[in-house]
């Protein structure tokens, strides 16, 4: 501990308060990046996505492990003055990440009836998880809820969190296996995007309810969000098309383009924060408004994704980890509550999606493979529950349980997929060039 003690003393003696804050933030960032790199590599060694290791790294740096074994070191690395800075960095990182997710979507090459079948799959992923999760929430309201949150709000929050799917991780698995343009791959990606959109709409309603304006109070927020989406897709998107053509022609980003692709998502995030639906929505819509040229998307992700996923996302995972206290889940009641939530989330997604896939004409192996993929929650549920915690909708105990659900369902996605659909049985599709989004995105 002498090194940490020396650093703390230096910080305390720094005459400039800004310098003092920098001397606290920089060691925290170094520790975050080293831990994320090590855990991410370990995850890859056991055939898991890097994001799983980064999620675990965030938990390890929090009170669950580092704070329990070395409380003085944890307090020195992450003092209270540093946490607002980490929050700002994680918010910027999430906004830019969701911007890149939106910009990376390819809406071309739809097949007849695909949207209808994706709607069936999406409904089968949302409704069972929502109902089972809400049922678990009603049973656990007295044990896990804050006193100012009604049973209905609490139940809907649990159900909404469990209805999410980790769309970016899903995309990565399918691209790595060359299935992104197969009927199974396109259907699954489209259904996952619908699932997440519905869950975010539910979160907007719950936020309005929690703020005291009731369900009707969410209508202005939803209306403003709809207007914002229309403006981004119908006004801003056409204005950006010449920029996409210029990048496709030259193959590079000039300074003006870089300013635009950073300013637009941050401004959009600020607007949606003001509306009341959190900045990640603005970032995502800003990404959807970007030019659809393949060369532009590849150049955009090549320039931005590595910085966002390597520097800023680990900060978000650590900020989440600082709010995760797994030690508080000890005891029969808490363990039972966690197992109930985990079972509700797993069964709703896995069996609901598998039965839906079987019902629309896929074989049992493909159906269970998609059920395993759709069951992964990854980064998306962490964003969802961090918003809930920040707005006072959930307790830290429920937050910790849902973090564990995120880790376990993410870890189980690929093994369940491979168990149902080994490589020798995967549908043969023409090899496709892997996009820059998939090469660099981890989850």
- Evaluate whether 341 touches 298 at the Cβ level (below 8 Å): no
Task: Decide: residue 183, CB within 10 A, 0-12 exposed, 13-18 middle, 19+ buried.
Answer: middle
Written as six digits, the tokens of 245 are 């053509």
| Contacts for 251 with CB less than 8 Å, ≥ 6 apart | 295, 299
User: How far, in Å, are 56, 365, 407 from residue 48 at the CA level?
Assistant: 12, 21, 11
CA 219 to chain CA mean position, Å:
25
Q: What is the pLDDT of residue 185?
A: 76
Q: What is the mean pLDDT of each run of 10 residues along the chain (443 residues)?
A: 49 69 89 92 86 86 85 88 90 87 66 74 89 94 88 90 80 66 76 76 73 64 83 92 86 84 93 80 87 84 84 87 75 87 93 90 87 84 84 87 89 87 62 42 46
Tokens 């969701």 found at: 98
Q: Taking the CA atoms of 105, 235, 98 and 217 in sequence, report the sign of the dihedral they define.
A: negative
Helix H or strand E encompassing 304? helix 294-307
Q: What is the pLDDT of residue 194?
A: 78
Helix H or strand E encompassing 53? helix 50-60
Helices and strands in the chain: count of H runs, count of E runs: 21, 0
3-state DSSP assignment of residue 189: helix
pTM here is 0.77
Q: What is the pLDDT of residue 433?
A: 39
Cα distance between residue 283 and residue 187, in whole Å: 24
Q: Taking the CA atoms of 424, 427, 430 and 431 in sequence, report the sign of the dihedral they define.
A: negative
Cα distance between residue 375 and residue 405, in whole Å: 10
Return the closest-CA partner of residue 82 out of 136, 11, 165, 130: 11
User: How far, in Å, are 113, 331, 350 from residue 385 at the CA level?
Assistant: 34, 23, 21
Q: What is the pLDDT of residue 212?
A: 57
Q: What is the pLDDT of residue 107?
A: 58
Cα distance between residue 27 and residue 45, in whole Å: 27
Q: What is the pLDDT of residue 211?
A: 64
Write down the architecture of domain 84-440 according to CATH.
Up-down Bundle (1.20)
CA 6 to chain CA mean position, Å:
37
Task: Kindly give the residue spans of alpha helices, DSSP state H, lying in 105-182.
Answer: 114-144, 151-162, 167-176
Phi-psi region of 421 (alpha: psi -120 to 50; beta: other; left: phi over 0): beta
Cα distance between residue 238 and residue 289, in whole Å: 8
- Evaluate whether 169 touches 413 at the Cβ level (below 8 Å): yes
Tokens 């790595």 found at: 176
Domain(s) of CATH 1.20.1530.20: residues in the chain: 84-440
| Contacts for 216 with CB less than 8 Å, ≥ 6 apart | none
Cα distance between residue 186 and residue 192, in whole Å: 10
- Evaluate whether 413 touches 200 at the Cβ level (below 8 Å): no
């Amino acid at each position: 501990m002498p090194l940490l003690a020396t650093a703390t003393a230096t910080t305390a003696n720094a005459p400039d308060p800004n310098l003092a804050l920098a001397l606290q933030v920089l060691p925290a960032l170094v520790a975050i990046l080293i831990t994320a790199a090590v855990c991410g590599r370990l995850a890859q060694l056991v055939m898991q996505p890097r994001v799983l290791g980064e999620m675990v790294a965030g938990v390890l740096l929090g009170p669950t492990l580092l704070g329990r074994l070395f409380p003085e070191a944890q307090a020195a690395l992450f003092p209270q003055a540093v946490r607002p800075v980490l929050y700002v960095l994680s918010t910027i990182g999430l906004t830019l990440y969701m911007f890149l997710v939106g910009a990376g979507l390819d809406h071309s090459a739809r097949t007849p009836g695909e949207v209808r079948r994706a709607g069936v799959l999406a409904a089968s992923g949302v409704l069972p998880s929502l109902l089972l999760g809400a049922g678990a929430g009603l049973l656990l309201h007295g044990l896990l809820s804050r006193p100012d949150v009604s049973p209905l709000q609490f139940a809907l929050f649990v159900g909404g969190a469990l209805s999410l799917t980790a769309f970016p991780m899903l995309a990565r698995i399918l691209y790595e296996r060359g299935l992104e343009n197969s009927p199974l791959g396109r259907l699954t990606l489209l259904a996952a995007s619908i699932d997440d959109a519905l869950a975010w709409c539910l979160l907007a309603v719950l936020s309005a309810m929690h703020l005291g304006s009731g369900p009707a109070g969410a209508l202005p927020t939803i209306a403003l969000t709809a207007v914002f989406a229309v403006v981004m897709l119908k006004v801003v998107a056409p204005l950006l098309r010449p920029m996409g053509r210029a990048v496709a022609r030259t193959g590079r980003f000039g300074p003006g383009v870089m300013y635009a692709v950073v300013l637009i998502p941050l401004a959009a995030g600020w607007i949606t924060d003001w509306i009341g639906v959190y900045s990640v929505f603005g970032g995502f819509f800003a990404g959807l408004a970007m030019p659809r040229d393949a060369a532009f998307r590849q150049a955009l992700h090549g320039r931005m994704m590595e910085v966002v996923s390597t520097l800023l996302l680990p900060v978000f995972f650590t900020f989440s980890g600082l709010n995760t206290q797994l030690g508080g889940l000890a005891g029969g009641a808490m363990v039972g509550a966690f197992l109930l939530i985990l079972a509700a989330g797993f069964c709703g997604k896995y069996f609901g999606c598998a039965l839906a896939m079987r019902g629309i004409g896929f074989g049992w192996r493909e159906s269970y493979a998609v059920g395993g993929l759709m069951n992964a929650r990854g980064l998306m549920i962490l964003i969802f529950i961090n918003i809930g915690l920040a707005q006072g909708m959930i307790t830290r105990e429920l937050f910790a349980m849902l973090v564990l659900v995120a880790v376990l369902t993410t870890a189980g996605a690929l093994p369940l997929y491979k168990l149902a659909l080994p490589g020798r049985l995967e549908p043969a599709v023409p090899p496709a060039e892997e996009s820059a989004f998939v090469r660099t995105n981890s989850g």
